Structure formats: structure tokens, C-alpha cells
Amino acid sequence: GHETHKNVASVEQVWDTALDAEVDRSAIVIGVGGGVVGDLTGFAASTLLRGVALGQIPTTLLAMVDSSVGGKTGFNRPRGKNLVGTFYQPKFVLCDVDTLSTLPGEERIAGLAEAVKSAWLDSEESVAMLERDAEALTAGDADATIRAVRMSIVLKSRIVHEDETESGRRMLLNLGHTVGHGLEAANEYRGIRHGEGVALGMIAAMRVAARLGRGRSEETERLTGLLGRLGLPTDLDERLSSRALEFIGSDKKRRGNRIHFVIPRLPGETEIELVALDELRAALE
């Protein structure tokens, strides 16, 4: 499913197909596919008959390392990404990296951005592991991929267990997503993959950290270097537009004229801070 399909019409299709088949509350809805399929399936399951069982079988790297775990569901609206949704945990998540053998290389590379995000949130050891495995990961090596998927799932599971509904610590998982979602929305979800937006969004977050006196150029260079070695975009200035910055004002983490923004520092030392929207835009313009 493409991001442009992530709308209420697609959810209605699942609802109506299930209701036409006369399912009852003992049914299970299983999402087989990438992040879009998983998010739509999850929302449909959470609302169908007021909630039926859900299973996730992610078949893209991005869905394996991030979206299939944690129970976030939802769809997009004209004002931005994922603005309507629920928290609804799957009964199981099955990740089989063999399914990635048919995934286009660019899609697999884009998924690595979420693994970089997880590693930076986790620890120095996890970042160093991705740096060591960079060439193997870009080549699609199964062992390196399993290491990245396992690290990401363990990290996300730990954070979600502490804060399921994103009232605090879970916001850390939005590293790179505030600006990343703005870039996606500004491009109407065409020409930029979610992982590519997250990669650029992480570089933007480093820039904001520096503006607030929290970051060092060494960290920015290290993160940018790792993203580049993995084949992810790093050309933030060429892609950032005033339209993308406008979408940041619609972000779910906004509180009045401020926004909960994830500030990356050293690996394993990331913080959440309320930043004025004007200050955020000034740091990026």
C-alpha cells in the first residue's frame, strides 16, 4: 500500500468486507505488508465490532523495525500524517526477513533509517554495530539485517512497555519524525519515502539541538556519515521548504505554540523538550 492509500476509504473497505462476511468478535484481522497496510489493518481491527484480535506480519524492513511493533494505528488527513488513529496492541508480530528478498532495494534502504533512529536512542554499542554492519546492510545481508531488526524491536518494546500511549518517554521514538512527516506531507507523500523523511528529520533534529546549545558538530557529522553510508539522503537544505515547516504546526505533539521535540545528543542520551514553533522554524530556515 502506498501512503496515498492511507485514508478512511481504505479502512471502510476492510470494515465492509469483514461485515459482509458476517465476522463475529472471535475474528482476527491480520495485516500482511508494509507500514501502511499495518496501520490501516490495526485501525480497522481496533474499531471493528468495537475491537477484534489483530496480528501483524510485516514484509518491509521499515515495518519490521518500527511500525508493526507498539500498537499505533491510524491514517492520514489533509492536515498531516497519522492525525486520526488508536493505540491497539497486536496479539503477535511475525518478522521473517526472507520476505525482504523481493523488496526493492530502495525500500529496504529507506527502512534502515528507523534502525538508525533506534540505535541512536539505544546506546553507543548499537550505533557502533550499525557502523560496522553498514556495507552488509546495504547489500541485504540476512545476518546483519536480523541484528538490526532485533535491536530495534527490543528497544521499542522496552519503551512502549514503559509508556504505551505516548504520554512521556514513548515520544523519544519520534526522533526525526516531526520534520520528516512535514517533508512527506509537503510532497503529498510522493517522491519521498517515510524512511528518507526520517533520515532528513534526524539531521534537522541535530541542527535544532545545536541551536539550543545541546548538540555538538561531532555527533551531527557521525549521524550524517552513517546515514550516507547506508544510502539514505542527507541533503536537508535542498529538500526543506516553507510548506514543510507549515505542516509541523499540525503535528500531534504540538501544545499551543510549542511542540514536544526530540533532541538527540550522544547515543543513548536523547531528550524531549518543549520548543517554541517559531524557534524550531528559525533553527531550520
Domains of the chain, residue spans:
1-103, 105-285
What is the CATH architecture assignment of 1-103?
3-Layer(aba) Sandwich (3.40)
Q: Which residues of 90-123 are buried (b: 16+ CB within 10 A; e: fewer)?
A: beebebebebbeebeeeebbbbbbbbbbbbbbbb
Measured distance CA(14)–CA(131) in Å, rounded: 41
Integer angstrom CA distances of residue 268 from 3, 59, 61, 121, 155? 31, 28, 23, 5, 11
Burial (CB count within 10 angstroms: exposed 0-12, middle 13-18, buried 19+), residue 17: exposed
Measured distance CA(75)–CA(218) in Å, rounded: 37
The CATH number assigned to the domain with range 105-285 reads: 1.20.1090.10
Q: Which amino acid is at 44?
A: A
| pLDDT of res. 79 | 87
| pLDDT of res. 252 | 67
| Long-range contacts of 180-184, Cβ-Cβ distance < 8 Å, separation of 24 or more | 181/80, 181/81, 181/82, 181/247, 181/251, 182/80, 182/244, 182/245, 182/246, 182/247, 182/248, 182/251, 183/239, 183/240, 183/244, 184/3, 184/81
Phi-psi region of 89 (alpha: psi -120 to 50; beta: other; left: phi over 0): beta
> Would you write out the chain's pLDDT as a tens digit for each of its 285 residues?
688 889 999 999 999 999 999 999 999 999 999 999 999 999 999 999 999 999 999 999 999 999 999 999 999 898 888 889 999 999 999 999 999 999 999 999 999 999 999 999 999 999 999 999 999 999 999 999 999 999 999 999 999 999 999 888 999 999 999 999 999 999 998 999 999 999 999 999 999 999 999 888 999 999 999 999 999 999 999 999 889 988 887 776 778 889 999 999 999 999 999 999 999 988 998
